Chain A
């Protein structure tokens, strides 16, 4: 029998529909693969018992002709989604032992469509990071390594465990969340497809909040079609999230026509950074050629405020985080460190419970919101955000989609950037502007770096035009024909 873990979601759905294998067999193969990949540390909590039970129920549904969109597909759930009765940590010490009594809307939607949970995927603490080096539960390792070198590479972040589990064939797909690039950048580093929907497309209810005006859940998969299938299952209006948008969810798979003739693809000149790596520029040029060959019109565009996106983001996201994370005070959930009095208990709990990067951002955010500095930092950043969004609005009058690199480099080694927060922040230089504007974006694996690591290209589209996004991404995927996989050195 073929190795069931190597299938795409769509092929596995076809296989189960044809009766070639059962959801139980598919899940069993993935549980074995997950157990054999412990060295990658992609999971904080594994739930094989829940998976087997869900797969058994899935087979029963399919036998009755009641299979859902993702029925029987084993996935990893980023440990930022609250899951009823299953430990939920946000990769932070401060949430020690937190076991929600409720289910996040997005994870609930996936279970309602039959998806099977293999476990909770590791991440950067509170989704703050670009390398998965800030998790209380340890670093996640990228299954990819440089050619002829066994130095461990970061998987990107913050959805690093999700990316690593999908790239290592431990999970068929995974959920991620993207605040400034946390789905797209790790997807690029791990050679998979990572998609951030338009802000408002997926409910944020039950997702541990980082920066509420930016956070969006999205799928991480090994094909663009799988991404469309999984988003279909995740998305939809939710009255419990006041920013969830009440509009119909289109049939995303139907958008994968493979035909982009006459579509206008924008190339923003400001994304050509000084000192950009030649191989990133070459990949981008290649992508432009693929778009042209498929019949699209390439149009040069200008997004003049691009350079200010990162500094604006590093005020807005920490400011929102400082407010959201105020709830972790040792009273309602998780860790408590006793102190001399109530205030001392709060401060001691938070000192011990949060890691360095989280503390750094909480202090920046608190400062930016404090009396006397609010206008200079927070209000200014919000105004710059308006200008960045206006740049995109202007550009989208002339183009249907935008093509850029996903990240300024391939995956790097552990410790190479963790001593310098600013160097780390630059990982998100191409993803943050679209996040600030609330746009849908997708990273598609498009080639290998000189030392054999995957590189992604990013497509951005207009708000709520995920159909064009998937259509362009599908053509990019076909042209790139990225079939490389990492050597399976990690299998124990």
Chain B
């Protein structure tokens, strides 16, 4: 009896602080946002008009919302492809091959992770600058004529222009994650495969990939979640959702509606939408990537 009580107390002493913090900083804001989403509120006065599901109705009739969701998934899709391909490539290259200066490259590839996303975005703004940017400079040199493409200003290129910095910023972390996974694969597996005459590609497909699948899966989920919630910073610094909403994403649209156009209720409704979209995407992704885990004894 007392032993059981002590145990319960012991467990509670560990769980309670976290639970309290979770309620205050996660649950309460979610509930509050849901509550605000039922009102027409400017965010700067005490007047709140109850509109029920009006904000949600308006949201589903708003073409910019669909554009933003499309852009979010565009970024998610290409970020997953870009980051996973490059991170896996570098991870394999830096572990499975005897490369000189592998340590140095690891640091180089990881470097963008040390920088804040804002710094990266500002840096890339300079690279994209139509008049004196590095990219147009290189193109002008290669093509031997003056190139002045407004990468971030033209709605035809702007969303594509957000991809390189976003991918560049993400590679390092996932590369390190995969390197750790590859290093934990027992070497004899590769040795016997080599004796059997398996090529490097076959070794990668049949040994490396299955054994790091769990990490790949986690990485993809992490990229998806971080992209759905984290495109805000890069959009805010580089394009502010423009030109003409061509780089609008849900996170930035929420900010714009709430803090620039004074529709806090509508912004909260967008917040609820982001929550639902993120949750659904994660659950679907988890199911899609389900696969038997190979246990190495």
Indicate whether A and B interact. no
Which residues on A are within 8 Å of B, measured CB to CB?
A: none
